[in-house]
Structure 1
Amino acid sequence: MKTILVLGGTGKTGSRIARRLEVAGLPVRTASRTGGDARFDLDDPATWTPALRGVTAAYLVEPSLSASTDHQARIPRLVTEAVTAGVRRLVLISAPRAGEDGHPLHAAEQAVRGSGVDWTILRPQWFAQNFSEGPWRTGILAGTLALPTGEGRTPFVDAEDIAEVAVAALTEDRHGGQVYDLTGPRPISFGEAAGLIARATGRTIRHVDVDPEVFVERQVAVGASPDVARFLTRLLVAIGNGSEAAISDGVERALGRPPRTFETFVTETAAAGHWN
């Protein structure tokens, strides 16, 4: 096998994918705007050709869900260039309901499906690692996780599972043409998540429900664009409305085992000191 390209190679999933490929002794090239083996910017096609050189399989990420981003062009154009460059296997990390018209990642999914090469689409639910490496870590460390989710529940998926499924799709033939909806084994509320982290760390942590408009204002105040803040708020409100609680069998279909539990994520993350 020639080189495997991992876009977003320094991110939550990309770094885990690259590490697994390296351990397996497979040639991997990480690429991102600010790190990795190659500089790669979806807004700068001049960076695509060097990153794609000698690549036969690629993990694709659309890092922006901003309304100002041209989602109809970025990934679709990259898919065309990747296939022309000799890539024969594409794995796209997408999102729930991205198969529906109007979703920011719909065009990306359609481009991958119509690429004419082997493809797999991953649609993970909310990452468990958002509590330890992402936007909710600050609230965990401060002791108050203020989100407009009420008592809603969702089956947080471990990024380790996402990475393992991605590696399988990049290196094995049997995942071609598959769409894997990836979730954890059970839905939990943010209050329960905060409680589990509190017990594992000895901290006092609580979840506080926030009015959606207040949450939008707070996100804009810390640097989010208004459209991204509103989009994120809609997703969180959907959890509170009960529409994000369904579990899927994607991890088990892809890997032949159940997904990792949120409790396992919390135990291992606390032991590693990520909330110190």
Structure 2
Amino acid sequence: MTTLVIGATGTVGAFVVEYLSASGERVLAAARHGAVRFDWYDRGTWDTALDGVDRMYLIAPADDSDPVAAMRPFLSAARDSGVKRAVLQSGSPVEEGDPGLGRVHAAVAETFPEWAVLRPSWFMQNFSGTHVQGESIRTRGEIVSATGSGRVGFIDARDIARVATAALTSDVAMNRETILTGPQALSYDDVAAILSRASGRPVRHVGVTADRLAEIFESGGMPTEYATALAAMDAAIATGAEDRVTDEVLRLTGRAPRSFEEFAA
């Protein structure tokens, strides 16, 4: 079997490539600047990426508020070239049929006989690396959000990748959606306290309105529509929309997900 991983240089995709390769699978690592060049908006890159592929991991184009427009033609091309299984990385707030990724969810389910949609909660990695929150923590000792006291079942990207590997190589998650979380739901105040203990330096949570948060995202170079959508998700967290924990990581991989304390350490 040959698996195409789209977004192979991304937060989750890089781990998917690593874990599939470690298990002996043949992997094509595709990205704009990956081992296999792939661009959702350049059909000239599609044929090479799909050559010999029978399953694939899909990560939608970043900062696109309507990704189905770019993805649906590729999904049809993949089916016609012999791809039988597609695993889509979506997000916990997104229901099938919703605008954006929800429409991609529906398209994947309609196109392939074997499919899975992974709906992970917010990434622990959002507080590290080049993410806007990671930068804010390092430069100002602040986490800025519009979440209030709302809680989130933050998940390590490595645990998402382990589930993705299982979904691509076995039938444990077939033809359904799966909500993935870490082992506990935490507020941003909780996160700040954990990071303070782990780093030995103060980190505080600064609450702002959703409108102000969108402005902050935009000032960092994010497109207006995308910034507004992300800020609205923060506002939803404040109402309890993400206050949940599932056992899917353990059930599908046989190993409990990492805690935020482990990640922070």
TM-score of Structure 1 vs Structure 2, range by shorter chain: over 0.9
Residue correspondence of structure 1 range 54-93 to structure 2 within 5 A: 54-67=52-65, 69=66, 71-93=67-89
- Judge which range, 172-181 or 38-47, deviates more: 172-181
Give the TM-score normalised by structure 2. 0.94
- Give 1:232's aligned residue: 230
CA distance in 2, matches of 1:15, 1:72: 23
* CA shift in 2, pair 1:120/1:102, >3 Å: closer
Aligned partners of 1:29 and 1:38 also within 8 Å:
yes
Letter in 1 for 2:259: T
Is structure 2 residue 48 aligned with structure 1 residue 15? no
CA distance in 2, matches of 1:84, 1:50: 14
Give the conservation status (yes or no) of the 8 Å contact 2:57–2:87.
yes
Cα distance change on mapping 1:138 and 1:97 into 2, 3 Å: closer
State the distance in 2 between where 1:115 and 1:249 align.
28
> Which ranges of structure 2 fall in alignment gaps of 5 or more residues?
none
Tell me the CA shift for residue 244 of structure 1: 1.3
The one-letter amino acid paired with 1:184 is G
Answer whether contact 2:214 2:228 (CA < 8 A) is retained: yes
* 1:186 CA drift (Å): 1.2
* Distance in 2 (alpha carbons) for counterparts of 1:45 and 1:250: 36
Question: Aligned-pair distance for 1:173?
Answer: 2.8
SS for the counterpart of 2:9 is coil
Matched, 1:105 2:101: yes
1:184 equivalent in structure 2: 182
Matched, 1:141 2:114: no
**In 2, Cα distance between equivalents of 1:263 and 1:96:** 22
2:90 to 57, 75, 94: 94
Q: Which amino acid aligns with 1:75?
A: M
Mapped partners of 2:213, 2:235: distance in 1: 10
- In structure 1, the residue matched to 2:117 is 121
Give the Å deviation of 1:262. 1.1
Describe the superposition over 1:192-243 as per-residue Cα deviations: whole angstroms up to 9, x where unpaired: 1111111111111111101222222222222111111110100011112222
Deviations 1:22-69 (A, max 9, x none): 212221111111x211111111121111111011110011133533x4
Distance 2:114 2:173 in 1: 9
- Retained in 2: the 8 A contact 1:76–1:107? no
* TM-score, normalised via structure 1 length: 0.90
Distance in 1, Cα, partners of 2:55 & 2:13: 14
Change (3 A) 1:102 1:178: closer
Larger mean Cα displacement after TM superposition, 203-212 or 254-263? 254-263
- Counterpart-to-counterpart distance in 1, 2:88 and 2:103: 12
User: Could you tell me whether the CA contact under 8 Å between 1:128 and 1:157 is conserved in 2?
Assistant: yes
Runs (5+) with no aligned partner, structure 1:
268-276
How far apart are the structure 2 equivalents of 1:255 and 1:110? 25
Distance (Å, rounded) in 2 between the aligned partners of 1:20 and 1:100: 28
1:80: Cα distance to partner?
A: 1.0
Q: Which residue of 2 aligns with 1:271?
A: none
1:259 corresponding residue in structure 2: 257
